[in-house]
């Protein structure tokens, strides 16, 4: 009897060792991981996910959520407002976990939308172009530092793409760019922004798209052009169809941030790209 009890105890101990993961086990990663900044994360003050870090203002109806719904998969959405490239690997503001923690060898596809904060887009838009009614046109007094800030994100973006591939070698990476902010002209909702300055701002987002598209192509990722699909849906379009809220907006209360229509438009482009690439979904 004693020997039999000993054998039972030994077998139970062996099963426990099999069931419990080791402390150093490699995280397997979510199947679909969404990474990025507020352009992917938020609808402003509406539909905020209470389970997400408050800082992130992550929406339950943002583009990653809509992509996951359309494809019939679960998303580990790590997008976070104000995120920069460094927050992919480090703790954002010391509190939000690194976004790359969601990645692992079982990850099958990744969406990435980030870089505008690194390129200091808000600083130049608000600090230069939205003061033009007082100081003169920002397009006339073009600041070469803006182009330099945009171009400077390339090495960090390349490193981020390489790190995604290292952590998730089976994953297909989809990089979505920035849609149309301004169709030609401007409108009262932009509070005095000059038409030339609106075109100038749009040219900077086009430059940002070019940088990101180039790095995506060079590092094996699929770049998704959302600019063409969003023409006619800029901030001065009708409230129901514009993809971004202007300074006076209704959807998000956050100028230059995606509306519900914007998230739906981006999600549709991403879903089409994922399906075209043959990435496994359901």
Count how many residues are written for the chain: 282
Choice among 113, 130, 233, 257 that is catalytic: 257
Is 219 an annotated catalytic residue? no
Is 81 an annotated catalytic residue? no
Q: Computed from CA positions of residues 128, 133, 139, 143, in that sequence, does the dihedral angle turn out positive or negative?
A: negative
Choice among 38, 59, 81, 128 that is catalytic: 38
What are the catalytic residues? 38, 257
């Amino acid at each position: 009897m004693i020997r039999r009890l000993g054998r039972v105890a030994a077998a139970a101990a062996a099963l426990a060792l099999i069931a419990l993961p080791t402390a150093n086990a490699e995280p397997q990663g979510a199947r679909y991981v969404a990474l990025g900044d507020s352009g992917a994360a938020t609808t402003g003050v509406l539909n905020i996910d209470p389970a997400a870090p408050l800082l992130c203002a992550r929406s339950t109806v943002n583009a990653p959520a809509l992509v996951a719904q359309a494809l019939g998969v679960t998303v580990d959405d790590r997008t976070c407002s104000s995120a920069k490239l460094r927050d992919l690997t480090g703790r954002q503001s010391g509190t939000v976990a690194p976004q790359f923690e969601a990645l692992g060898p079982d990850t099958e596809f990744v969406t990435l939308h980030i870089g505008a904060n690194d390129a200091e887009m808000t600083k130049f838009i608000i600090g230069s172009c939205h003061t033009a009614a007082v100081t003169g046109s920002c397009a006339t007094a073009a600041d070469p530092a803006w182009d330099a800030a945009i171009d400077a994100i390339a090495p960090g973006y390349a490193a981020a793409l390489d790190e995604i591939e290292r952590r998730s070698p089976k994953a297909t990476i989809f990089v979505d760019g920035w849609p149309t902010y301004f169709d030609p002209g401007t409108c009262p909702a932009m509070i005095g922004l000059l038409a030339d300055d609106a075109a100038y701002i749009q040219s900077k987002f086009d430059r940002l798209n070019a940088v990101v598209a180039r790095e995506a192509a060079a590092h094996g990722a699929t770049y998704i052009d959302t600019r063409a699909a969003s023409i006619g849906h800029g901030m001065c379009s009708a409230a129901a169809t514009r993809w971004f809220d202007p300074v006076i907006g209704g959807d998000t209360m956050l100028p230059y941030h995606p509306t519900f229509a914007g998230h739906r438009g981006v999600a549709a482009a991403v879903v089409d790209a994922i399906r075209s690439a043959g990435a496994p979904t359901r």
